[in-house]
Amino acid sequence: MHAVEVSGISKSFGKTEVLKDISFSVSKGEIVGLIGPSGSGKTTVVKTIIGMEKADEGKVTVQNQRMPNRLLLNQIGYMAQSDALYMELSAEQQLVFFSKLYGVPKNKRKQRISECMGLVDLEKDLSKKVMIYSGGMKRRLSLALALLHEPDILVLDEPTVGIDPRLRKQIWEKLQLLKEQGGSILVTTHVMDEAERCDRLVLLLEGSVLAVGTPQELKNQFNTDSIESIFLLKKAGESA
Classify residue 158 as left (phi > 0), alpha (psi -120 to 50) or beta.
Answer: left
| Per-residue pLDDT tens over the stretch 115-160 | 999 988 999 999 999 999 998 899 899 999 999 999 999 999 988 8
3-state secondary structure the chain: CCCEEEEEEEEEECCEEEEEEEEEEECCCEEEEEECCCCCCHHHHHHHHHCCCCCCEEEEEECCEECCCHHHHHHEEEECCCCCCCCCCEHHHHHHHHHHHCCCCHHHHHHHHHHHHHHCCCHHHCCCEHHHCCHHHHHHHHHHHHHCCCCCEEEEECCCCCCCHHHHHHHHHHHHHHHHCCCEEEEEECCHHHHCCCCEEEEEECCEEEEEECHHHHHHHCCCCCHHHHHHHHHHHHHC
User: Which CATH number applies to 4-239?
Assistant: 3.40.50.300
- Please compute the mean of the pLDDT values over residues 53-80 and round it to a whole number: 91
Segment 171-222, tens digit of pLDDT: 898 899 999 999 999 999 877 888 999 999 999 999 999 999 999 999 999 9
Q: Tell me the whole-structure pTM to 2 decimals.
A: 0.91
Q: Is the pLDDT of residue 237 over 90?
A: no
Burial of residue 116 (number of CB atoms within 10 Å: 0-12, 13-18, 19+): buried
Residue 236 has pLDDT above 60, yes or no: no
Looking at residue 11, its amino acid is: K
- Whether residue 233 is predicted with pLDDT greater than 90 in this model: the reply is no
Map out the domains of the chain as residue ranges: 4-239
CA distance linking residue 78 with residue 165, whole number of Å: 22
Return d(Cα 195, Cα 122) in angstroms, integer: 26
How many alpha carbons fall within 13 Å on the CB side of residue 183? 23
Kindly state the average pLDDT of the residues 80-101: 90
Percentage of the chain lying above the pLDDT 90 cut: 68
Which of 90, 89, 110 lies closest to 99 in space, CA to CA? 110
